[in-house]
Copies of this chain bind each other. A is one copy, B any other.
Amino acid sequence: MTLTSSSTLATLDRTGPRRITDLAVREGVTQPAMTVLVRVMEESGLVERRGDPADKRVTLVALTEAGTAYVRARRRAGVDEFVRLIDQLEDDEVEALAAALPALQHLAALDSQEREEPKQ
């Protein structure tokens, strides 16, 4: 599992089926790279191609059930790992982390916002 494939699967889980060009831009790779990545993931049964009836050029990429299960399992494993670490913190440290969550969300929002509208 490469970084790009993990991220692509997560994107598909978050946003639903997407066309290949769209995925390539979101993941920051070229369209041919995404084409072959989709083929590999398709052969692994994590993903399936659906034609778009409205535009016969595009192939929509969607998570299969196995793909969804995989993404969810991975996410849960990561969450568990975090929980395991946070459980070892002092109570006041956990409170401080929780109190900082809105600021972190705001930071993430500002960052992604700037990525979407570069230097306007």
Contacts and interface: CB of A to CB of B under 8 A. Distances in A.
Interface of A: 85-86, 88-90, 93-94, 96-97, 99-100, 102-104, 106-107, 110-111
A97 B94 CA distance: 13
A96 B103 contact: yes
Copies held by the complex: 2
A46 to B, nearest CB: 25
Contact of A103 (B97, B103, B107): B97
A79 to B, nearest CB: 14
Contacts of A97: 100, 103-104
A99 to B, nearest CB: 5
Contact of A89 (B93, B94, B106): B106
A107 B88 CA distance: 8
